[in-house]
Each structure stands twice: as C-alpha cells, then as structure tokens.
C-alpha cells in the first residue's frame, strides 16, 4: 500500500518550471487543486521525456475518440511559473499517463522515487487530473524551460558552461 495517495481531480492549474541559474537549476512539477498547491521535484530529462510521451498519448486518444476537439498548446508564460511555496512533497521516480473518456480528463500519475531497499508500494503517489489542453500547454512550457539551460556543444553534445568545457572531441581544448 502506498505511503500516501493524493488525487487532485481536477487541477485548476498544472505546470513545470525550474529555479536557479543554468547548470544549477532544480526542476519542479506543480498542480493546484481547490486552492492548495502541490509541488514535486522532477529531473529535466523527465520533463523532456514527458513532453514527447504526451504528444504521442494525445495522438492515440484522438485516434480512439475521433470526435474530440484538438487540445490547445497555448500558454501564458507568466501564469506558467511555479507558485510559492516551493516545498516539494517528494522527488518523482516514475511518471505515467491515463485517460478517462467519460470526463475527458487526462491523469498524470507521479510516483515517488523509492529509497534503496524500500518496496515501490511504500512510496507516495500523486495523480494530477487535467484537461488535454492543460497537459499539452504544460509540456510545451516544459520544453521551453528545458531549452533555456546551458547551450549544447555541437561537437560532443554535452552542456557547456559559460567559461567553456572539456570536450572529448576537441581533445579537451576550450573554445
């Protein structure tokens, strides 16, 4: 049995964001339900992977339910920033998606990362129920946030710090 479960159905707002300067940022997933803010820690790669997965998932939903209107990806940047307090409930280990056709709501399920030796059933779970448009907008914003990080080295594909970086393809020479 999970340590705790939260069902935020439906959220009035859902977003991802990062705090800190590039190279030292901390990423968050946040949803608001009945005026209460729930914040979780996520990794940048989780945000990026989620964005790809959501687009594929929405295509599958539209194929299965062809009469549904297209989900919007419009977002207001000022509204997409996370709201204080930024007191994360837990670090996310796994994300999943589901869909309820009766309510036309998508559920983003976040499972707490399990501590070493701990059974996965003992971790926390938060379910963010949202519209398809809310989820798509969150993912498009998440990609925008992720892309605001450090530039990627065209030679080796690793992030570059402002003072340069050790590039194995250039035999370690800085720009």
Q: Where are the domains of the chain?
A: 5-150
Per-residue pLDDT, 168: 76
H or E element in which residue 57 lies = helix 44-64
% of the chain surpassing 70 pLDDT: 91
pTM: 0.84
- CATH fold of the domain at 5-150: Secreted effector protein pipB2 fold (3.30.2450)
Say if residue 153's pLDDT is above 70: yes
Torsional sign, CA 4, 8, 14, 19 = negative
Q: What is the pLDDT of residues 91-131, one digit of tens each?
A: 999 999 999 999 999 999 999 998 765 555 678 999 999 99
């Amino acid at each position: 049995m999970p340590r705790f479960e939260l069902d935020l159905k439906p959220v009035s707002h859902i977003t991802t964001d990062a705090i800190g300067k590039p190279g030292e940022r901390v990423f968050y997933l946040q949803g608001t339900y009945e005026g209460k803010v729930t914040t979780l820690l996520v990794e940048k790669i989780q945000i990026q992977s989620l964005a790809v997965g959501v687009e594929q998932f929405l295509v599958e939903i539209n194929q299965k339910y062809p009469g549904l209107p297209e989900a919007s990806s419009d977002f207001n940047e000022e509204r997409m920033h996370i709201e204080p307090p930024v007191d994360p409930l837990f670090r996310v280990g796994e994300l999943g998606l589901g869909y309820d056709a009766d309510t036309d709501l998508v559920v983003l399920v976040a499972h707490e990362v399990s501590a070493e030796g701990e059974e996965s059933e003992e971790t926390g779970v938060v379910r963010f129920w949202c519209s398809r448009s809310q989820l798509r907008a969150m993912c498009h914003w998440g990609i925008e946030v992720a892309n605001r990080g450090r530039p990627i080295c065209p030679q080796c594909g690793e992030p570059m710090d402002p003072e340069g970086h050790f590039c194995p393809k250039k035999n370690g020479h800085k720009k």
